[in-house]
Amino acid sequence: MPDPVLSIRDLVVEFKTEDGIVHAVDGVSYDLFPGETLGIVGESGSGKSVSTLALLGLIPQPPGRIVSGTAEFKGRDLLKLKKKELRRVRGNEVAMVFQDPMTSLNPVLTVGNQLGESIKTHYPDEKGDVIKQRVIDLLKLVGVPNAETRYAQYPHEFSGGMRQRAMIAMSITNSPALLIADEPTTALDVTIQAQVLEVLKRVQAETHAATILITHDLGIVAEMCDRVLVMYAGHIVESGDVETIFRSPRHPYTIGLMDSLPKLTEDEEWLRPITGSPPSLIDLPPGCPFHPRCFLAREKCRESNPPLEPVGGSAHLSACHFSDELIGHKSKFSQEAVA
Partner 1 sequence: MTDSSISPRGSSPAQPTSPPAPGPDLPPPHAGGVEGTLEAGLQLKVRSQWSYARMRFFRHRLALIGLFGLIVIFGAGIFANYIAPGGFSAINLGNFQYLAHPSAKHIFGTDELGRDEFNRVIWGIRTSMEVGVFVAVVSSFIGMFVGAVAGFYGGWIDNLLMRITDLVLTLPALAILLTASALLGQGSQWRISAILVAFFWTGIARVVRGVYLSLREKEYVEAAKASGGGDMRLMFRHILPNTLGPIIVNGTLAVGTAILVEAALSFLSLGIKPPTPSLGGLINDGQANPQDWWLTVFPGITIVLIVLCVNFVGDGLRDALDPQQRRMRA
Please identify which residue in 18, 19, 82, 107 interacts with partner 1, judged by CB under 8 A: 107
Distance CA 21, CA 18 (A): 8
Q: Does 122 bind partner 1 (CB under 8 A)?
A: yes
Q: Is 175 in the site for partner 1 (CB under 8 A)?
A: no
The secondary structure of residue 305, as a DSSP letter, is P
263 binds partner 1 (CB under 8 A): yes
**Binder of partner 1 out of 130, 152, 205, 282 (CB under 8 A):** 152
Task: Please report whether residue 88 would count as binding partner 1 according to CB under 8 A.
Answer: yes
Q: What angle do CA 285, 322, 231 make, to 5 degrees?
A: 55
Minimum distance from residue 209 beta carbon to partner 1 (Å):
14
Residue placing its CB nearer to partner 1 in the complex, 51 or 305: 51
Kindly tell me which residue out of 264, 267, 270, 299 binds partner 1, with binding defined by CB under 8 A.
264
Report the residue number, 107 or 328, with the smaller CB distance to partner 1: 107
Is the CB of 29 or the CB of 153 nearer to partner 1? 153
Binding mask 8-47 for partner 1 (x = CB under 8 A): ----------------------------------------
Contact window for partner 1 (CB under 8 A) among 21-29, 100-108, 296-304, 309-317: 100-108
Secondary structure of residue 281 in the 3-state scheme? coil
Task: Please work out the total of residues on this chain that contact partner 1, with binding judged by CB under 8 A.
Answer: 68
Binder of partner 1 out of 78, 95, 210, 231 (CB under 8 A) = 95
Of 32-40, 66-74, 152-160, 314-322, the segment contacting partner 1 by CB under 8 A is 152-160
Amino acid found at 153: Q
Helix axes 160-171 and 111-122, enclosed angle (nearest 10)? 10
CA angle 56, 25, 334 (to 5 degrees): 105
User: Which residues neighbour 148 within 8 Å (Cβ) at sequence distance 6 or greater?
Assistant: 136
Contact region for partner 1 (CB under 8 A) — 66-74, 158-166, 203-211, 296-304?
158-166
Q: Are 295 and 257 in contact (CB under 8 A)?
A: no
Q: What stretches of the chain show up as alpha helix (H) in DSSP?
A: 48-53, 83-89, 111-122, 128-141, 147-151, 160-171, 190-207, 218-224, 242-247, 252-259, 299-303, 332-335
